[in-house]
Amino acid sequence: MKISKYNANGNDFAIFHTFFSKDRSDLAVKICDRQNGIGADGLIVILPHENAIKWEFYNSDGSHANMCGNGSRAAFLYAYKNGLIGKNSTLLTGAGVISGAVSDDVVEVELTSPKILDENLNEEGKTWHFYDTGVPHLVHFCQNLDDFSLDLARNLRQKYNANVNFAKIIDGKLFVRTFERGVEDETFACGTGMAACFYGAVRNFGLNEQVSVYPKSGEKLGLSLRNGKIFFSGAVRHTFDAVFYG
């Protein structure tokens, strides 16, 4: 089986395309294993769909996810490079249809409209905002990103079945750290997490509706809010191809 590896802002994905859908949870665990497999935050399986594409998305633990922001950007670039779509197309995800545009190795995607689940939660003496940007995210705006706590993030992930983000605004830029469910650890980046933090910062702190956002990887991502929808763009790298024997 030929597998391609793509990296988007520090999130890495194993990707292949096929013409039939089935449960590939066990395969995802094998492929995403960083010691015995290819190693990735998630597995993306691309399938043709009405002049566009749809996907099966698996976290590294084999669980399904409706949406992954950085994963969607990697999926568009993979599909374009493999002749499955043109530079502008759509992707059917579990969270709905999103559009994408490829320009060289920069990909911009338009997410489904964000949903407000709660904006005044209190946990461990901290205020949390709760948004759905394709998947649910808890967001806490802090003074110091070193306050990020894996133990607290794990507890809140279980309590709310959500990803957990710490964010800080510095000179009009947004810096984010994210604990991702399905990976069950902090990751170098999370597209929907950055989108949730951006949305919360615009709503509650007057952040500009077009900003640069930096995840733990340090790679810059551009986010903008237009007509109630979040757009985000950044570079995607095709890092290598491999043959996986299982």
Point out the catalytic residue in the list 32, 142, 190, 197. Answer: 190
Query: Annotation-wise, does 11 bind a ligand?
Result: yes
Identity (one letter) of the amino acid at 110? E
191 annotated as ligand-binding:
yes
190 is catalytic: yes
SS3 call for 123: strand
Residue pair 71/64 in contact by the 8 Å Cβ criterion: no
User: Does the annotation place 163 within a ligand binding site?
Assistant: yes
Partners of 45 in the beta sheet?
A: 16, 56
The residue annotated as part of the active site, out of 32, 68, 142, 197, is 68
Which ranges of 25-111 would DSSP assign to H, the alpha helix? 25-32, 69-81
144 is in an annotated binding site: no
197 included as an active-site residue: no
Say how far apart CA 246 and CA 239 lie, in whole Å. 20
- Flag whether 127 is marked binding: no
Among 149, 151, 118, 150, smallest CA distance to 132 is for 118
Q: Which residues contact 221 (CB under 8 A, 6 or more apart)?
A: 9, 189, 191, 194, 212, 213, 214, 215, 232, 233, 234
For residue 128, give the 3-state DSSP assignment. strand
Q: Does 69 belong to an annotated binding site? A: yes
Residue 208 marked ligand-binding? no
- Binding-site residue numbers for substrate are 11, 59, 69-70, 163, 180-181, 191-192
- Mind telling me the catalytic residues? 68, 190
- Binding-site residue numbers are 11, 59, 69-70, 163, 180-181, 191-192
